[in-house]
Structure 1
Amino acid sequence: MLQLESQFSPQRMSQSTKTAVMVIGGAEDKVHGRQILHTFYNRAGGTDAQIAIIPCASRDPEAIGHRYQDIFTDMGAKAIEILDIREREQGQDSLWQSFIHNCTGVFMTGGDQLRLCGLMADTPIMDTIRIRAQLGEITLAGTSAGAAVMGQHMIAGGGSGESPNRSLVDLTTGLGIIPDVIVDQHFHNRNRMARLMSAIAAYPDKLGIGIDEDTCALFESSRSFQVIGKGTVTVIDPAEMCHTNYQDIGTTDPLSIHNLRVHILSHGDRYDIHKRSSTTESH
């Protein structure tokens, strides 16, 4: 698998379009300003955009696929293909593979991240999407479940409203688009701070990113992301964590996690993953 450092090679980007990986917290505005969806459309090429929609996380993939198809058609996309994948074997469909090899944008919808990974992980289509996204050849967006799968490790489920503990979060393998992060979505809207902290206690070599609804962490390079949208992105940074009792307690016992750093970022703020530092829009 390509490492994070090889993402988004500038020489592979179009002169007119700067590609990105867009990690969306869910419930993005689909009716009024459509800020995040317009950003995806523009970064995928605007009127030259050839967009693949992957709705297989949804319980009703046909309906959700057509909803996004209508949105991007109204915006003026050149071509749109719905990859209505319901069996793993379809992940090697030659016609869909051909479209993925030539498309400019891929949009993964919300639903169940376990279903999305179960159908798409290690398929030729997803391997191509991951490599092209990491090379900066396409703009890739995932909302809700489509955001949760971005890391090498994925939050598959869990609770809220409790103190951090091992049973609060269910972790499994994600799609590894951005291997260094663990993503949680609908973040403050569903009170998920404690479960993201619990996930980071399990994998302290990762960076926790909690994204609110109608909010996006937009990765333009391997080093940093910027925040767009109406909510916030919470960063849980364990780089200076000096103690946790994670390995020594029962599954429902409260966790000790010492010296975590927490950043709350809003629209226009940026975060450098390697320097572990944030900047505001004015800087």
Structure 2
Amino acid sequence: MNFKKTRVILHKQITNFIQYLKVERHYAINTQQAYKRDLEKLLVFTHKKSLSQWSNLTSEHLNLFVMELRHQDISARTIRRNLSSIRGFLTYLVNHEQLSDNCAIHLQSPKIDQNLPNILNYDNILLMLKPRSNTWLELRDVAMIEVMYSCGLRVSELVALNVNDVDLNQGFLRVVGKGAKVRHTPVGKAAQQAISRCLFDHSNHVLFVNRKQQRVSVRAVQNIVKKRALKAGIKVNVYPHMLRHAAATHFLQSSHDLRSTQEFLGHSSIKSTQVYTHLDFLELSKVYDQCHPRAKKS
């Protein structure tokens, strides 16, 4: 069966469901139309993912679908309604023996009052990364921001880095995350260059140090990020975790691969994600090189 025919079948099942809401459930016309709009969005998504039947749809797909809606600045209330429509539709298919399992049934909806984090766009990040001098402190600050963004690090992970955690030849960092969990994170060319400049004439075993040659503190990094954003003319209050969030957002938007994004960030799971498949470092490096905007030389 070709893909065009499968799309017709998927659309027909949605049409049958809307008719069921009208005839058997006696839903109002506005409610029927809302269901139809929500499910047509899902249909477009399944087309992009080359899903030929509803049984190919997984909770992981739906998590990615929700993330795409969030990145389009769609409100939490609207996303909740979308998920409600999808649950209702898949339940209908299960009840009519057209589907064996409803993968949306346990999917967590965003809270209505949940404020989504501000996302730094790539142009803003480039402004923050622009060196203003060749002083050691300036090179250090640029390197810290580059590493947080390019590698998606938490600020606590950044300040804990030692020189021997960096392997510029192989292109990765050894990162100690939450719960002392160790991961090896790919380092793009831009971050490698920033680290190399920072390490010139560097004798300390700690990677990022202050004027007293002591490990830089979390508070210091927070202040540095905030000040650089202000100098760059960025209007919102910028804090280090926004760089990690931007890294995740840009990585996911390019790769459309939730599992790779989980591994990149060092998450054992992402909230609202039930399916997790471990990727080895070589596979993650390949996805990173293809997808992160700071992976390659410009």
* TM-score normalised by length of structure 2: 0.25
Decide which structure has the larger Cα Rg and report it: 2
Structure with bigger helix share is 2
* TM-score normalised by length of structure 1: 0.26
